[in-house]
Amino acid sequence: MKYFLLCCFTFVLFSSAVLAADFFVAPAGNDAQPGTLDKPFATPARALAAAREVKAEPVTIHLRGGVYELTEPVRLTSEDARTDKAPMVIRAYKDERPVLSAGVRLTGWQVGEDGRWRLTLDAVKTGGWTFGQLFVNNQRRLRPRLPEAGYFNVASNMPPTEANAKRGFDRFQFKDDNVKPNWSNLQDVELIGFHQWSTSRMRIASVDAEQKVVNFTGPTRGLASWTDFKTGHRYFVVNVKESLNKPGQWYLDRPTGVLTYIPMPGETTDKTEVIAPRIDQVLVLAGDVKQHQWIQHIRFEGLTLAHTNWVCEADGESFPQAAINAREAIAAIGTRDVQFVGCAVVHTGGYAMGFGAGCRNVTVERCEMVDIGGGGVKIGNAGGAHSWGELQANAGDPESGVEHITVRDSTIAHAGRIHPAGVGVWIGHASHNTIEHNDIFDLYYSGLSVGWTWGYQTPSNAHHNDVGWNDVYQIGQGVLSDMGGIYTLGVSPGTRIHHNNFHDIESFSYGGWGLYTDEGSSEIKMDHNLVYNTKDGSFHQHYGRDNHITNNILVNSKLWQIRRSRVEEHRSFIIDHNIVYWNLPDTPLLGSGKGNWKDGHYDMDNNLYWYDGKAFDFAGFTQKEWNDMGKDQHSIIADPLFVDAANGDFHLRDDSPAKKIGFEPWDYTKAGRTTPRSLTKDMPAVPATYE
């Protein structure tokens, strides 16, 4: 009997050992080897091929530390799908740091008498390769820019040429000699024009120095007023060879293939890592949406993905709102039950991640997206501006919808470095998603965006989204306009925006708001948010229906505290149980004037207002007139008794009168990440600019 039990125990141990497969990959490995710890593969692709042979067993692919220079993205298809009993983990080996790089390290520099480094790249010279970014010692470096600081301004807009009369704008008049016809490689010069909430990156076809007209190789995106190069609008130019003059700048002369770099003080060719991107994506998960064949049950842990390329098209590129057509370093469709845990995406030309058609039950947790060319995470289908792979989806097929994507405890920082309109987290036509406990900061457009149907179209594919406990700040920074810490549009029943901190939001011209319900935003609840230091209002509604703004702390917006921009026949919103506090001089409570508030199609009550002891009115109405309209009849004007508002402590003292309006305090310091950054904590500073 003892012998029988011993045999059974031995069999169980042996079975457990063989029911899991481990493969190892190392930069110095060899794909002809068996993929063991001692004899690893060289490429992730080879390890994936090996994993396909052991479908019935759990698989772990261990990536050893070092840089994997990819010539094409790591690509998974439905053939790589796993089961809940036999999942796959692709992870960093122990505490090592593998980097999946879309770039290549450049060596063989020649140092000229002028101190500049030069390298001839034959693949560039023959037209097989070009790149628009360069990374030196783990830091983005920039091409020469004119003007060196600030912007030029359009002298006068012009109608499009006959060739583009129905497509978009393709020229304007400039001032002085801001654009020159004799610049080297003129069509490689890029002109970045700023509209209200978007940019256009144009290539120059010709310059008429006498008439001061710059003509582009292609048009902007359509003929709407917000795509025009209007008189006075800002622009700058990059990649002008003649203006290469500062340490850290570089220039790629495509006709000759010569890359020139001006080193920073202390940099030497033997101790400096220079990486140029080759491909625009690192990881592609391509499930078959049409056939409902999903990629499933895969987990990525501790990986760094870096150095993606973005190159302006020959006819230029005019970006829509949120730059949603910029590609992603990690792109997924038809992907379900997949997790990204403790990963980093850095130094990109576009967005960090995108989850499109057919994606469900995907989690991004404890990840770090830093130094991003576009935005952080895209969730959903982008409508007319299709990002990668979404055209595979069948129209009307409910399985092609995107839902239950979670972004949690992650960092999205220093974004918009190529596409300033990039958003921290963008949710479009997707439902039941959760965005919680993230740090989102240093962007040039909105921090978060949810919805993406203009107007009151139903049924909505963007509903029951939950955005909570995020710290969103340093937004806009005076670059674009018409933005919010959170920007919503369309009918979104069940969507809740709560327990977030939105602060330090500055637009270029109009529209630096904290909570911003735009374009038909409806049935959204915004509660327990702390909003402070905004430009145009802590809350603004352009137009919408039955949004509930409750139990928020709204502090010190520069122009006004709350704004309503459109009168409609239905109830616009309910604003109740909020604390509104401000002390800036000559700043009203309500913006847009009497006309936008006299109709009464909104509810406001049980709020606490305090203008640092000074008198104020209600959009031109006295308090009595306002109360007689049925507004704020149970609200109070009183000091909320913050612990230390002057130093940013907005906790309430125990004797605060806010309890009289039924206000529910919360600990706003718990917003943001709950764990520290890891993979990017020692990164060099990201340049505080964009190109």
In the chain, what are the domain boundaries?
Answer: 107-276
Mean pLDDT of the chain: 95
DSSP code per residue over 176-206: TTSS-TT-TTGGG-EEEEE-SS-EEEEEEEE
d(CA 437, CA 470): 5
- Residue 232 tokens read as 């006075």
- Residue 145 tokens read as 């820019």
The amino acid that residue 585 corresponds to is P
CB–CB of 565/542 below 8 Å?
yes
Phi-psi region of 185 (alpha: psi -120 to 50; beta: other; left: phi over 0): left
d(CA 554, CA 502): 10
pLDDT at 683 over 90: yes
pLDDT band at 413 (very low <50, low <70, confident <90, very high): very high
pLDDT of residue 4: 42
The amino acid that residue 379 corresponds to is I
Strand, coil or helix: what is 425? Answer: strand
Strands 134-136, 139-141: pairing kind: antiparallel
Q: What pLDDT digit, counting tens, does each position of 86-110 carry?
A: 999 999 999 999 999 999 999 999 9
The burial class, CB within 10 Å (0-12 / 13-18 / 19+), for 357 is buried
Q: What pLDDT digit, counting tens, does each position of 471-512 carry?
A: 999 999 999 999 999 999 999 999 999 999 999 999 999 999
- Residue 270 tokens read as 């033997």
pLDDT of residue 383: 47
pLDDT of residue 395: 62
Q: What pLDDT digit, counting tens, does each position of 551-571 carry?
A: 999 999 999 999 999 999 999
Q: In terms of Cα–Cα distance, which of 64, 113, 68 is closest to 91?
A: 64
Q: What pTM does this model have? A: 0.96
d(CA 633, CA 630): 6
Q: In terms of Cα–Cα distance, which of 612, 577, 617, 576 is closest to 597?
A: 617
pLDDT of residue 382: 63
- Look-up of token digits 């091409």: 143
- Look-up of token digits 């340490």: 247
pLDDT at 156 over 80: yes
Burial 64-89 (b: 16+ CB within 10 A, else e): bebbbbbeebbebbbebbbeeebbbb
Q: What pLDDT digit, counting tens, does each position of 226-271 carry?
A: 999 999 999 999 999 999 999 999 999 999 999 999 999 999 999 9
Q: What pLDDT digit, counting tens, does each position of 202-216 carry?
A: 999 999 999 999 999
